[in-house]
Structure formats: structure tokens, C-alpha cells
Amino acid sequence: MSASVNKNGLLAGKVAVVTGASRGIGEAIARRYAMEGAKVVVCARTVEEGEHRFLPGSIKRLEQDILEAGGEALAIRCDLSEREDRENLIKGTEEAYGPVDILVNNAAVTWFEPFDVVSEKHFKVMMEVQVYGPFHLAQLVLPSMRDRKSGWILNISSHAAIHPKAGAGGGGGTVYGMCKAALERFTTGLASETFNDNIGVNVISPGLVATPGVVHHKLVTKDTPKERVTPAEHMAEACLRLCMGDPKAITGRIDYADQVIKEFNLKPADLIGELATVEEA
């Protein structure tokens, strides 16, 4: 059965914001949510195809794919390192569709550099996009969620948040790991604070997904064993499951995509349209 949009699906009528959706995991999540009837607002810095110097994908292409499949979508340019852009993202969403029901903080920017040479600028941008950006967006959507006693916030983390063993070496991911560890602690703290408001707050790590960015950084190559690579469809399905149901039963979780698939016995669906891809080196 080919992928399609069900306007009466599991997220019918819900308004979902997905950051970093021009390609990769964010793109897959947006497509999956739209298939279940959500009105999806997708944001990134890459608006039109070809604007990125190295990578394929754009939020306009994604918006068009969802619309052509019969779903609802709106692309809004947003640099997550800029306060005004974050505020305009939520304002634009509310003007188009109403208050946000689901916020997915997926956007990331990373320089894999040895600790000794990480500049102040790179450090601050990574922290702004991956820690304060999600924090600020949550502050912007929470008042309405609290008023309605309903809502979901999902933060996308990484295995990089796990403490490395001394002597294990590393590929310059110390600051990236710091950001993701902070994001996970933010998630559990916010889940605790919003529990009585019926708002679910979770964090999930994808494992190794062959996104355009991952391939570009050569974290996945043709020599990478297939069993080590998590399909984007699996991550999207797990992210759907963590934003539906009873928020008080599914909140404060630090999850991994494969664990969610197994725990809830999920069968990942094919996605509408085509994900942006690059050749594996």
C-alpha cells in the first residue's frame, strides 16, 4: 500500500511545528505527522532547493510534497540562533493555523572540532541552536498549552549525550555532546514542571541515520554495516508515538528510536514523497 495522507488520522487537526525540517530526520518527522492529519509548519534556513552549499533539501520542497499528497503544510524560514526568527516562527504558525499542539525541536548545527580549537562563536551558536532555542520555543508555546491542558514537546537528542569512557578517543564532539546532554536534562525537568498541565515532554535519539548531513560528515559510508544504520522512517514512527496518547503516561522519557519501535510494537510506515538524499561516500 502506497503512502498517503489520512486527514482523519492519529493527529487530525493538530498543529505541529518541526524545526530543522529541510532534510534528514526533521523532514521525515514532518512527512509522517502530515500523513496522520496534522497541520505541519516546517522551518529551517534553507527555503528553496539549491540554497545550501552542499546538501539537498528545502522546506519549500517539503511543503509542496505534503500539499500535493493532500496534507496541510506551511514553510517558514527560521534561523534558530536568532530570537526574532523564533518568535516569528510561532507567531506565523498561530496566524496560519492556531495554537501549537506539538513542538518538535530537531534543528542542530555542529562543528566537529577538537576542544582546543573550538571558537567562542562556534560554541555559542551550537548552544543557542540546540539548547536555548528549544528552551525559548517551549516558553513561547507553553502558555497556550497550559490554557488548553494539552500539548506535546519532543526534543531530538543523540547518543553523543552519553558520557564517553576515558581513553576512548573522540572525533571532536565534546561541545555537541554537552548540548545534547543539556537538552536531555531540560526535557526531564520540563516534563516534571508540566505534568499536572497534561503536557508530554520527551527526548529521543535516532541512532545512526543516513541523513544528508551525516553522510556529508562521513559518519556513514558505503562500508558502514547496514544493521548499524537506523532508517529515517523508524525515527519518524517513534516520534509519532511519543506525541500522541495520554501525556501523563508518556512523558519525561529519554528514549532511543529502536527501543520505542520495539516497546510499542510499531511498524514504520512508508513516507509520502521522497526524502532528500546524497550519495554515500
* Catalytically active residues, by annotation: 176
Q: Is the backbone of residue 166 left (phi > 0), alpha (psi -120 to 50) or beta?
A: beta
Q: How much of the chain is helix, strand and coil, in % rounded to 5?
A: 45, 15, 45
Strand partners, 99: none
Strands (E), the chain: 15-19, 39-44, 72-77, 102-105, 151-156, 199-205, 254-256
- What are the grid coordinates assigned to 27, written together? 523532514
Q: Tell me which amino acid residue 237 is.
A: E
Exposure string over 76-104, b if 16+ CB within 10 A, otherwise e = bbbbbbeeebbeebbebbbeebebbbbbb
**For the chain, what is the radius of gyration of the CA atoms?**
18
Exposure string over 23-49, b if 16+ CB within 10 A, otherwise e = bbbbbbbbbbbbbbbbbbbbbbbbbee
